[in-house]
A and B are shown apart, each in its own frame.
Chain A
Amino acid sequence: MTGDIRLTPPLSEGDVTKLGVGDRVRLSGTMYGARDSAHKKMVELLDQGRPLPVDLRGQVIFYVGPTPAPPGRVIGSAGPTTSLRMDAYAPRMYEYGVRATVGKGNRGQPVIDALVRHKAVYLIAIGGLGATLAQRIKSAKVVAYPELGTEALWEFRVEDFPAIVANDARGRDIFKEGQDTWARKLAAVA
């Protein structure tokens, strides 16, 4: 954990513009959870010029649909879902003021451009680490859209939630850089 950059949302422009691709971060404090259906509803509200159920400006959205909390736990398993599905909504959410999103997998060019334009970042958590990441969530409540089940809008309190900067506010992309490097290295070995 030493060397990791600590972030406590809400985040300012300065908090994220200092981040670069590959930086390890630890998030503590409030983080919101939303995936496909909650995003669809929120973007509809934004398009109608109406307020969101909670103010997400400066906040961090974790793309997640957790498993139900077993008795005695605050949440079940809770790892990131594929971010690409939220690409349809992400530029609008960044324009509104969301400062960072956390998911898995890569983003399309319109999202990468939106990050540069709105001074924001895309972080990844390791996909499939549902049991591990749930340990970093200290409380969880549904703040809107309970009818969506796991797809509701969640508010989490997290402690030292680990993530990696995948796309920074300068337009760099961790996947492209990493895969190109390793494709070259692996082609060279017999």
Chain B
Amino acid sequence: MRVVSVDKVRETVRDLYKEACVIANPELVQAFENARATEPSPVGKEILTMLIENVELAKRENLPMCQDTGIAIVFLEIGEEVRFDRPGLVDGVHAGVREAWKEAYLRASIVKDPLRRGNTGDNTPAMVHVDFVPGDKVKIRVGAKGTGAENMSKMKILSPSAGVEGVKQFLLETVKAAGPNACPPLVLGVGIGGNFEEVTLLAKRALYRDLGKPHPDAYYADLEKEWLDAVNRLGVGPQGLGGRATALALHIETKPCHIGALPVAVNIDCHAHRHKEAIL
């Protein structure tokens, strides 16, 4: 067994968030540049330039790129040969979020209760997902997700007869309905299969795959290409003002499912696509 310190997990979560909200990943900046190169709408091109300048400014001035620094989503992949030095792993994750939000002047955007509201003041709790995997490492992946895009996400359980066309139609309807409100150009995570609760997690995991990295299965890699092209013909465009760059990337994740169901979920992220990862 390998011993990993809970404090190390806390510090890692903290540092990943302090960076994620301020410094855009290079793949994201590259995706903005690629989109700008192929954007036929002059206003769309102009907006893509503004997005590039905004992430450069945020980095230079050490300011969050967007004021909605989001809900904290943390995926822990824990090697089965790992033992933690003390109890309190999940509390350690929350503590890391709390410290990042305070130290980096991020926005507290979480309420204590969904109906009675009341800001928690420190952006906790984080949404924490734990998986056990073979090995002796701990992989920590964090996402900071603005709600403008999260609010436009959708899931539906289709009938198996709907097939691949049914999933594609649901995707296109969802993106079209999101329109300008999810701050396009978007990143799309599409979950297919599993069941009611799994399919939404699949979609979220898909979102945080390295930007634009194709699915390892050629069948799904081809669908990713085809669907991204279809999305980019909807005309929504940067900020919904019309144009080609409705989405920068589309990732699919799948799981086996019941003979009687075809679950699908589309998790939408905005152009402020913030995620980082580390391995301990």
Contact = CB atoms under 8 A, between A and B. Distances in A.
A132 B54 contact: yes
Interface string A169-190: 0000011011111111111000
A134 B107 CA distance: 14
A68 interface: yes
Interface stretch (A7-15, A93-101, A120-128): A120-128
A106 B239 contact: no
Interface stretch (A47-55, A70-78, A111-119, A153-161): A70-78
B106 interface: yes
Name which of A64, A149, A174, A186 has the most chain B CB atoms within 10 A of its CB: A186
Interface stretch (B8-16, B128-136, B227-235, B253-261): B227-235
Interface residues of A, number: 46
B148 A104 contact: yes
Name which of A148, A150, A182 has the most chain B CB atoms within 10 A of its CB: A182
Contacts of B240: 105-106, 175, 178-179
Contacts of A81: 67-68, 148
Interface in B192-236: 232-236
B116 interface: no
Contact of B67 (A67, A135, A184): A67
Interface stretch (B76-84, B92-100, B153-161, B179-187): B179-187
Nearest to B237: A182
A69 B105 contact: yes
Contacts of A139: none
Contacts of B271: 128
A68 B105 CA distance: 5
Given A64-B67, A77-B64, A106-B179, 7 more contacts: A67-B105, A77-B65, A126-B50, A175-B242, A177-B242, A178-B43, A178-B241
Interface of B: 40-41, 43, 47, 50-51, 53-55, 57-58, 61-69, 105-109, 117, 119, 121, 146-148, 151, 179-181, 183, 232-237, 239-244, 270-272
The 7 closest A-B pairs by CB, nearest first: A178-B242, A183-B235, A182-B235, A105-B181, A182-B242, A131-B58, A130-B67
